[in-house]
Chains A and B, each alone.
Chain A
Amino acid sequence: GQSLEQPSEVTAVEGAIVQINCTYQTSGFYGLSWYQQHDGGAPTFLSYNALDGLEETGRFSSFLSRSDSYGYLLLQELQMKDSASYFCAVRSSGGGADGLTFGKGTHLIIQP
């Protein structure tokens, strides 16, 4: 089966940097994705890592270590609008399925 672990809540200060970690257990790993969801809103795609290393997209970066079954999302120059839940996700097991298995999400609280 698939399982993902991420912290339930992280607090940071506006303008700072924060890292949200994700560890996973899965068969047939294809890649790690990150999504952002504001309260009452739809999940929004942020990044996808299939290979080891760091992917940078503006203020957001995502890292993957396949050997450690570990990844993280790095948010820089935090803004109040970054307050949201962040989910890591892996592709579901077997049979060519493309559905994602999500972690329970990390609630990011930004303080002024």
Chain B
Amino acid sequence: NAGVMQNPRHLVRRRGQEARLRCSPMKGHSHVYWYRQLPEEGLKFMVYLQKENIIDESGMPKERFSAEFPKEGPSILRIQQVVRGDSAAYFCASSPPVFGARRYEQYFGPGTRLTVT
């Protein structure tokens, strides 16, 4: 059973360009979360999505950042007009559609390391 997949693993963008990060959740998982991690820091929650719905985007910057999880295909985190401060590791996680404690087990992908030059 494949785990959470993210691509690309490394992405270099110049200031002002757009970055698109993709995430395919584990098979059978319908909940997707995006997190950002700066060096020597914990992960910061950005957005929580289910298929075709944004459930909670309270951690998402108000401008330049958007996320989607279409009916078909991977979840996409899009950063427009990137700036140097966007350089970070972006992790996607998924969890199964069950109730109880297992719902809080989040399975993380390998991350996308974004470097803005």
Contacts and interface: CB of A to CB of B under 8 A. Distances in A.
Nearest to A6: B42
Contacts of A50: 101
A102 B58 contact: no
Contacts of B43: 43, 87, 89, 100, 102
A41 B43 CA distance: 13
A30 to B, nearest CB: 7
Given A91-B104, A105-B42, A99 B56 contact: yes
Nearest to B105: A45
B45 interface: yes
Tier of interface size on chain B: 20 to 34
A33 B42 contact: no
Interface stretch (B11-19, B76-84, B106-114): B106-114
Contacts of B47: 99
Nearest to B100: A50
A102 B104 contact: no
B105 to A, nearest CB: 5
Interface in B42-74: 42-48, 55-56, 58-59
Interface of B: 4, 31, 33, 35, 40-48, 55-56, 58-59, 91, 93, 95, 101, 103-111
Interface of A: 4, 30-31, 33, 35, 41-45, 48, 50, 87, 89, 91-92, 95-105
